[in-house]
Structure 1
Amino acid sequence: MSMKDILYLGDTDLRQQGGYLAGIMSYSGMSFDYLASNLPFDENLLKNSYKAVVISDYPSSNFTASQLEQLAAKVKQGTGLIMIGGWESFQGLEGNYSDTALAEILPVSISENDDRMNCSSPLLISRESLHPAVSELPFDKQTPVIGGLNKVTPKPNSDVILKAVKFSAGKTESSSYNFSEEKSYPLLITGSSGSSRTAAFTSDVAPHWAGQLLDWGETRIHAQAEGAEAIEVGNYYAQFFRNILKWLMKEI
């Protein structure tokens, strides 16, 4: 039986996008088991007592309906759960989680249609409320940006911690730029299910949607998980995702 802290599912594999979150977890002293996006879910993993489960670009077709129901039951009993955005998350292109047992326990309602939003101009991240995952990060002084997300609807009694704000820009007659806010979208939403904490981060932890978020910080962090690509990222980016995981595990 595995005694790891976290079960991490998706983000292609550890030699690609999966290396980012894996690197952050290793750098932060968090142990994890991992399954790549192209591998079917191993039901034996349900025997383990993880503190949290991360699902990121891991399609629902990798699970059986029974496995999803069992995973949802474990979450209600104390295991934290976060879904991170991407083409194989939420509904996405191939996520298809809208009609699953996990859709019932996540803090957001998932669209039955393609919910991806790719933006050619940056989306600015706005902190909407204080939360242990974000309270010590300088969102007001160094506003990070992302390049896309999955559009979801927060459920009643959930908390919207961050939003992504879309702007339109154009030149004025004086050749200066004029920016106007168009719309905002839920980005980090938290909630609970049974005795567990749940969350949704609707953008990505890795390129391409994460974009410049990877470089958010004043110093650079170098990290590498076993079997993964080495990463070099900003310290605030690393702190942000570390804090989310620690909150899910009830360590902050």
Structure 2
Amino acid sequence: MNDRILYAGDSHLGGAAAYLAGVLSHGGIPFDHVPSDAPLGPTLGLTEPRLYVISDYPVKNLTDADMQRISGDVAAGAGLLMIGGWESFHGAAGEYHTSPLAEILPVRMQNSDDRVNAARPCLVEEGASHPILEGLPLERPPGIGGYNRVEPREGAEVLLFARHCPVEVDPRGQYTVTPGARAPLLVVGHHGRGRTAAFASDVAPHWVGGLVDWGEGRVKACAPGGVEIEVGSLYAEFFTRLVRWTMGA
């Protein structure tokens, strides 16, 4: 097992995958990327990743042997991170809920379409103290535009929630924000010797919403073969920490 990441999904490096790939490059974290329209097997056969990242990647591109390999690697100490999207968890066509990976992720998935689209932002709310979140200014929470509905497994820890905050405007033009329902957003756990994590929103627009610009500083980055991104400094810090924690670095 080496220190590389196997990152599958989010279209290609010239599209949505440029966001996480750019953050990984900015953080000096080596990775191999498999586009959403390519099978995982050929790349999986050439590497021994320290972390698997599956983000908006069709389950049909994974064979049973691929998933058994991932499950075995995580039990032996590798990490597994699933990031949300239309083809993650159940999604519109993800349908990971019946796959072997459903048994090792720290969340229970729905058995039907689990997408929640929020026209009015959901605020990111801290659920528990954790090294991933240490020092991040969540008292001034960023917002997201959607997520996959999941539930934590027994023994898993919910670090972040998505809090719906409906905004109403009265006839005088006064705004009222009323905290509404909340849903698990970041859940972490373990499988065997490996760490697991589920981030139920997206890493790239549109679901990532205002989170992509979180932080007063700006980070510009470009992964090899990708396009340049410009994101908030705390966005980059958060996803770098999430990746490093899940891979055990």
**TM-score range normalised by the length of the shorter chain:** over 0.9
Q: Which residue of 2 aligns with 1:197?
A: 195
Q: Secondary structure at the match of 1:23?
A: helix
Structure 1 unaligned segments of length 5 or more: list them.
none
Aligned-residue CA RMSD (Å): 1.4
Q: Which residue of 2 aligns with 1:110?
A: 109
Cα distance in structure 2, aligned partners of 1:78 and 1:4? 12
Q: Which amino acid aligns with 2:173?
A: S
Give runs of aligned pairs for residues 209-228 of structure 1, distance below 5 A. Answer: 209-228=207-226
TM-score, length basis structure 2: 0.96
Q: Secondary structure at the match of 2:101?
A: helix
Query: Is the CA contact (8 Å cut-off) linking 2:44 and 2:66 kept in structure 1?
Result: no
Bigger shift: 188-197 or 69-78?
Answer: 69-78
Q: Which residue of 1 aligns with 2:12?
A: 13
Q: Which residue of 1 aligns with 2:167?
A: 169
Q: Deviation of residue 177 (structure 1)?
A: 1.4
Change (3 A) 1:46 1:107: farther
Q: Deviation of residue 47 (structure 1)?
A: 5.3
- Percent of pairs identical after alignment? 42
Q: Deviation of residue 94 (structure 1)?
A: 1.4
The superposition leaves residues 49-70 of structure 1 with CA deviations (integer Å, 9 ceiling, x where unpaired) of 2111100000111011222122
Q: Which residue of 1 aligns with 2:137?
A: 138
Query: Is the CA contact (8 Å cut-off) linking 2:22 and 2:221 kept in structure 1?
Result: yes
Cα distance in structure 1, aligned partners of 2:47 and 2:147? 31
Of 204, 207, 226, 2:205 maps to 207
Q: Deviation of residue 40 (structure 1)?
A: 1.2
Structure 2 unaligned segments of length 5 or more: list them.
none
Query: Is the CA contact (8 Å cut-off) linking 1:43 and 1:67 kept in structure 2?
Result: no
Aligned residues: 249
Q: Secondary structure at the match of 1:98?
A: helix
Cα distance in structure 2, aligned partners of 1:171 and 1:29? 46
Cα distance in structure 2, aligned partners of 1:222 and 1:133? 22
Q: Which residue of 1 aligns with 2:234?
A: 236
Q: Secondary structure at the match of 2:184?
A: strand
Q: Secondary structure at the match of 1:69?
A: helix
Q: Which residue of 1 aligns with 2:37?
A: 38
Q: Which amino acid aligns with 2:219?
A: I
Q: Which amino acid aligns with 1:146?
A: I
The superposition leaves residues 136-182 of structure 1 with CA deviations (integer Å, 9 ceiling, x where unpaired) of 21111x31100000000110100000000002221235431122122
Q: Deviation of residue 17 (structure 1)?
A: 0.4
Q: Secondary structure at the match of 2:96?
A: coil
Structure 1 ranges of 4+ moved more than 2 A: 46-49, 171-175
Q: Which amino acid aligns with 1:212?
A: G
